[in-house]
Chain A
Amino acid sequence: MDKKPPNRPPEEPESAGIPAPDGPANLIDTDYVIGQDNITTSTMGVNLDLHGKVFTISSILVLLFVILTLALQDTIAPIYDAVFSFLTGNLAWFFILAANVFVILCLGLIISPLGKIRIGGADAKPDFTYVGWFSMLFAAGMGIGLMFFGVNEPLTHFGTSFDGGSWAPLAGAEGDAAGAAALGMAATIFHWGLHPWAIYAVVALSLALFSFNKGLPLSMRSVFYPILGERVWGWPGHLIDILAVFATLFGLATSLGLGATQAAAGLTYLFGAPESDITMILLIIGITIIAICSILAGVDKGVQLLSKINIAMAAVLLFFVIAVGPTLLIATGFFENLLNYFVHLPALSNPFGREDANFSQGWTAFYWAWWISWSPYVGMFIARVSRGRTVREFLVSVLLVPSVISVLWMTTFGGTAIDQYVSQGIEAVRNAGVDLQLFMMLEQLPLSQITSFVAILLVIIFFVTSSDSGSLVIDSITAGGKVDAPKPQRVFWAIIEGAIAIALLLGGGLTALQTMAVSTGFPFTIILLVACYAIIKGLMSEPKAV
């Protein structure tokens, strides 16, 4: 490995040899200086500070994929599909097994003495309040998914279990409404509970540990330091970072495009807005503009503020549905579903010899690949705002608390919809498309005009909170792990996201490219398994907190 001389400012060579303080953290001894491979330039009054290789190659790659997808849609979409079907079909066991490893590692760390170690060193103080911190990690992590799948997924699993057939989770519960509801809820919570949050937690904890405690740049490659050593600053590291940019950018852009389609459907349904390309493009532009304002205001005043507003509104909607919906059913259902989840957990998370191939491959493996492909972005963002927390505090807040909230959310929205169908015989929700099911469910409750409006607003703001934190993450990776790169760069990434979403929306290929983005879940599963090793190794070498 060629070590380049550190490009420290010439004015202060006498201070370069000062060792880092003892005690609070155990820095990794490396000569790499953050930003040493960066290109700094100033064009038209705009300063730039970018990692030459990571920025250039990921930009070219992104452009290439967009053009290919637009130009050769009919040829290339089946290829993306085939890759993805191969991965989830043949490697479902690998995704399911790996996700179990992540959950066990996180739970193990919570109870182990390593949980006492503090991110950022023994004396580090948290930068954010619990409310602000939690709002950000929830808004970035799965807020938007909960809006769309909170009604859809419990109802779908209930349906397949009740009707019987090859898509039912486990053995199904044909003809048994109560059993099907229990199984449907357990299966949904399985996909939105401990496993996805453990995936995020592994990435976030490893990045936070290697950045704040070990002094490495805030970038995916740093996690590989225990294995690759100084080679992470070369091509192996570049590849990991480029893959992270690819997954994050396409994950965000395609879900922004598809989300705009869904939000437009909601607007059409509620206000009769024309369901045209113009509506969707205006939505994407609007979301991008708010996201740009948010990233210019920064993490504290922009992203944190929006996330808090978002979570507060979501909480109001949640408690409103609990209050005016089947309150008692939701209250008892919460505990029943929690219990059902734990009862079915061993069978649902079993990677081998599954009889419900459609469910375990088409749903579970798909979800795991999806969460994992999002994990570089969500994990990196969570890492950035988690300095000052102990490992135990971090894992309880990133793993257990969000899982419990997911259970409550799914019980409330899914449980209410199932109840509407089973007890009241209302079929409208079940028959509606995915993007309208939430609104159909709300329509059966009082004040549906207001709640539907709040719901659509929530969807839009959740997209903003994904877009802004995503742009910050991509900017940091393409700036070689710098979080203090010039502001115009983050604006650039937010605009690119919106532009790709619009291009694919008009030219077609949103779903195709999303499939490709989710396929990156496979290489990232391997990266995450390495991260598990790195976490343990990194934590073992930390001085014990007092």
Chain B
Amino acid sequence: MFKNIMVPVDLAHLEVLEPALSIVADLAKQYDAHITYVSVTANTPTSVARTPQEYEQKLDAFAQSRHQVHGQPVSIKVYSSTDPVANVDKQLVDAVEETGADLVMMATHLPRHLDIIMPSHGGKVATHTDASVFLIRVP
């Protein structure tokens, strides 16, 4: 059913993503799917990396460590942006196209009033792509 699962990750908030990542691993094993970990990072220094290149190396290391856990083939894709907070949704939608993913799995927060002005990234991506989207609610 699913051949290529795209998983947006933010290395700055890995602790929040942990439950979602194990579900990704289970599903990938179930369908024997390839996993692409995708990040949108700032091109200015961030708390994770001081250059986009450094971020890419760290995401690669992260992907390899996940590979050790679930054994499925992995790859990564990093986008750097002047304003990642504002551009992340559009970049992720583009990334679905570029990685050829047929399923996007991402962690999201519970619905809240603020979503009216600032919708969740997951919700935004789901309404702008043809791929299946699996939003995992992190309590």
User: Which A residues contact B (CB, under 8 angstroms)?
Assistant: 7-12, 14-16, 18, 20-21, 24-25, 27, 33-36, 45-46, 120-121, 127-128, 211-212, 215-218, 295-302, 384-385, 387, 472, 481-488
User: Which B residues contact A (CB, under 8 angstroms)?
Assistant: 11-15, 18, 41-48, 50-51, 53-54, 57-58, 61-62, 65, 81-87, 112-114, 117-118
5 contacts between A and B (CB under 8 A): A16-B58, A218-B44, A299-B83, A384-B44, A483-B46
Which of B12, B45, B81: most chain A Cβ within 10 A?
Answer: B45
Contact among A10, A20, A35, A488 for B50, CB-based, below 8 A: A20
The distance in angstroms between the C-alpha atoms of A132 and B13, with both chains bound, is 32
In the complex, the answer to whether A12 meets B83 with C-beta atoms within 8 Å is no
Q: How far is the CB of A295 from chain B (nearest CB, A)?
A: 8
Q: Which 6 A-B pairs have the closest CB atoms?
A: A298-B86, A215-B50, A15-B61, A35-B47, A299-B83, A45-B112
Q: How far is the CB of A31 from chain B (nearest CB, A)?
A: 12
In the complex, the answer to whether A300 meets B87 with C-beta atoms within 8 Å is yes
- The dominant DSSP class at the B interface is helix
User: Chain A residues near B48 (CB, 8 Å)?
Assistant: 8-9
In the complex, the answer to whether B45 meets A296 with C-beta atoms within 8 Å is no
Contact among A45, A216, A300 for B45, CB-based, below 8 A: A216
User: Chain B residues near A385 (CB, 8 Å)?
Assistant: 82
In the complex, the answer to whether A14 meets B51 with C-beta atoms within 8 Å is no
Known A-B contacts A21-B54, A488-B118; A11 and B86 likewise in contact (beta carbons under 8 Å): no
Q: Which of chain A's residues has its CB closest to B109's CB?
A: A45
In the complex, the answer to whether B43 meets A121 with C-beta atoms within 8 Å is no
The distance in angstroms between the C-alpha atoms of A483 and B80, with both chains bound, is 12
- The dominant DSSP class at the A interface is loop
Contact among A8, A12, A297 for B65, CB-based, below 8 A: A12
Known A-B contacts A14-B65, A299-B83; A25 and B47 likewise in contact (beta carbons under 8 Å): no
User: Chain A residues near B118 (CB, 8 Å)?
Assistant: 296, 487-488
The distance in angstroms between the C-alpha atoms of A308 and B83, with both chains bound, is 18
User: Chain A residues near B112 (CB, 8 Å)?
Assistant: 45
Q: How far is the CB of A296 from chain B (nearest CB, A)?
A: 7
Contact among B12, B83, B86, B114 for A9, CB-based, below 8 A: B12
User: Chain B residues near A16 (CB, 8 Å)?
Assistant: 58
The distance in angstroms between the C-alpha atoms of A512 and B10, with both chains bound, is 46
The distance in angstroms between the C-alpha atoms of A11 and B64, with both chains bound, is 12
User: Chain A residues near B61 (CB, 8 Å)?
Assistant: 12, 14-15, 18
Q: How far is the CB of A12 from chain B (nearest CB, A)?
A: 5
In the complex, the answer to whether A11 meets B54 with C-beta atoms within 8 Å is no
User: Chain B residues near A12 (CB, 8 Å)?
Assistant: 11, 14, 58, 61-62, 65
Q: How far is the CB of B93 from chain A (nearest CB, A)?
A: 14
Contact among B11, B44, B57 for A18, CB-based, below 8 A: B57
In the complex, the answer to whether A34 meets B47 with C-beta atoms within 8 Å is yes
Q: Which of chain A's residues has its CB closest to B47's CB?
A: A35
In the complex, the answer to whether A300 meets B82 with C-beta atoms within 8 Å is yes
The distance in angstroms between the C-alpha atoms of A357 and B13, with both chains bound, is 58
Known A-B contacts A15-B58, A18-B57, A21-B53; A384 and B14 likewise in contact (beta carbons under 8 Å): no
User: Chain B residues near A487 (CB, 8 Å)?
Assistant: 85-86, 118
Q: How far is the CB of A26 from chain B (nearest CB, A)?
A: 11
Further pairs besides A15-B57, A215-B50, A296-B118: 4, Cβ < 8 Å:
A12-B14, A15-B58, A35-B46, A297-B86
The distance in angstroms between the C-alpha atoms of A128 and B83, with both chains bound, is 12
User: Chain A residues near B12 (CB, 8 Å)?
Assistant: 9, 484
Q: Which of chain B's residues has its CB closest to A384's CB?
A: B82
Known A-B contacts A18-B54, A298-B85, A300-B83; A482 and B65 likewise in contact (beta carbons under 8 Å): no
Q: How far is the CB of B52 from chain A (nearest CB, A)?
A: 9
Q: Which of chain B's residues has its CB closest to A42's CB?
A: B109
In the complex, the answer to whether B87 meets A9 with C-beta atoms within 8 Å is no
In the complex, the answer to whether A45 meets B85 with C-beta atoms within 8 Å is no
The distance in angstroms between the C-alpha atoms of A116 and B86, with both chains bound, is 32
Q: How far is the CB of A483 from chain B (nearest CB, A)?
A: 5
User: Chain B residues near A488 (CB, 8 Å)?
Assistant: 114, 118
Known A-B contacts A11-B62, A483-B83, A487-B86; A215 and B45 likewise in contact (beta carbons under 8 Å): yes
